[in-house]
Amino acid sequence: MARLATFIALGIMVSLFGLPQIATSQEASATKYLAFQMFTGAPDTSVPIGKSGRKPLSPPPSKAEMSRFVQKLIDEIGTTGDAETKLGFIIGPLAFDHTDSQLRQMIEDAFEIALEQDIAVGFHIDDSMFWARRTDLWQDPANVEWLDWEGTPNTGRRIDWGPEPIWFPPQMCLNSPAIQEAVRHLANDVIGKAVSEGIEALEAQGKSELFAGVIVGWETQIGRDFETDQYLGYCALTHRGFSREQPPQDPDGELQQILQEFIELWAGGIAEAGVNPEKIYSHTAVVSRHTYESMAERSTITYSQVNQFAPPTVSYGAHYQPGFSTYPQPGLMEQLYDELAEHDSPSWASAEGANIQPGSLTSGGSMETYLAQMFNHGATLVNIFGWGIGAEENPFRAAAESADSLAAYRKFLGGDALIEGDYVFPDLPARIQTIQTQLPDWLARNPSRQPEVDLLMLLLNQHLEENQFQEASQVADEILAFIDDSTNSQD
């Protein structure tokens, strides 16, 4: 979400392939799930990721705290649906920062809540980001990505979730033997086994439809270096036999395959523990080709790089269904529909999203239209981000909990058809890009206008910093009026 939000705000906005089919007694149901992300990175579910960054995630919430989140969700929406359209909650991140016992306890608690409150439950794994606690892994240079062929470790993983980049523990080397062994342990022995046991408990009660699925990844990617913003991947390429003297002919393609194999490693471990692959989903964030084509820097950045080596193709695998972040973005849904059709139209998940654009914090369409874009096109799981998070004025929370959104949820859960209306994308980011591109040349021809334009630019930046997008839009129009007015004579 972070990389996508950055571009929109700027105006553009061991492989498990080949394993034999894993036997399982659990059959995928035809249920469609409307779910809401419950964050487990802190004791309070309204705090998404606790003290993460340079510190590990905080201890997870208690069962009582999780139950309060679920009860409020049910109370506000007023129904949990039925076996065809079911309300659900998704707990996560389930991460390296959590101990094995914490992971098992959260999963056990979540299944108990599902049975107690007749609501579906799912699980959202962070595959590589939250691992500050695992200094045994990331302090070993063999397990972190390199800045060059000589093995210089990256300085930390860059996360753009705010006005300033946030330091996270270094980007994993996804195919390091020690990393892959740690993933196998978590995927199979811990998370997969606990989830499989929970599913068996649901089946014993005749409630198998209360399992919504497992999302293996949190916008899986090979991130960028914190200090240099440089793209990484040299460590993983070295494990594939490449070097400075023998570099890959297609580095993007090699890194995409490495990333896809990493998703398969997680998914295969979950499936081997007994979870049906039909209910295991990937999670990638896609910068649409429409957005990419409007980027000024596309001449120096490949489409694979802008997607952190996770274009839509890596979202399809042998032991998982595709899953994507689906925040509104020009051209995104049309592109995903085409990709799904090319892969025989599998069931899929919106692993993260809401009807709000991260870059502008505005919505150009209703929640009903947003849900219809997924459920009317083969999605079996839609996971809404924002419910109960932060203060009530948080734009993501406001979007998730609005009266119109509640009405859309009830309509879906009542079995009524969702109407897919138009989506209007605010063009403020595009207008800002036009200003950045054309204003310098205009000022060079009209230097006497510099003081008044400087004042407007200062005002524009203040509005953007304070998230006052309507006011920013008006100021942007004033600046563009200078540039567009062909009657302005040159000084």
- Can you give the pLDDT of all 491 residues of the chain as single tens digits? 444 343 333 332 222 223 333 333 344 458 999 999 999 999 999 998 887 778 899 999 999 999 999 999 999 999 999 999 999 999 999 999 999 999 999 999 999 999 999 999 999 999 999 999 999 999 899 999 999 999 999 999 988 776 677 899 999 999 999 999 999 999 999 999 999 999 999 999 999 999 999 999 999 999 999 999 999 999 999 999 999 999 999 999 999 999 999 999 999 999 999 999 999 999 999 999 988 887 766 778 999 999 999 999 999 999 999 999 999 988 999 999 999 999 999 999 999 999 988 766 777 789 999 999 999 999 999 999 999 998 888 889 999 999 999 999 999 999 999 999 877 666 666 677 788 888 888 888 888 889 888 888 888 888 766 656 556 767 887 888 888 764 445 55
In the numeric block, which tokens belong to residue 48? 């998404």
- Phi first, then psi: what are they for 244, rounded to 5°? -60, -40
CB 15 within 8 A of CB 265: yes
List C-alpha distances in Å: 131 to 98, 172, 219, 336.
9, 9, 15, 31
Domains of the chain: 2-413 (3.20.20), 428-484 (no CATH)
Tokens of 1: 């979400």
Compute the distance between CA of residue 391 and CA of residue 408 in angstroms, rounded to an integer.
Answer: 22
Tell me the helices (H) and strands (E) count for the chain, helix number first.
17, 10
- Lookup result for tokens 């056990």: 108
CA atoms of 121 and 49, how far apart (whole Å): 20
Please tell me whether residue 291 adopts helix, strand or coil conformation.
helix
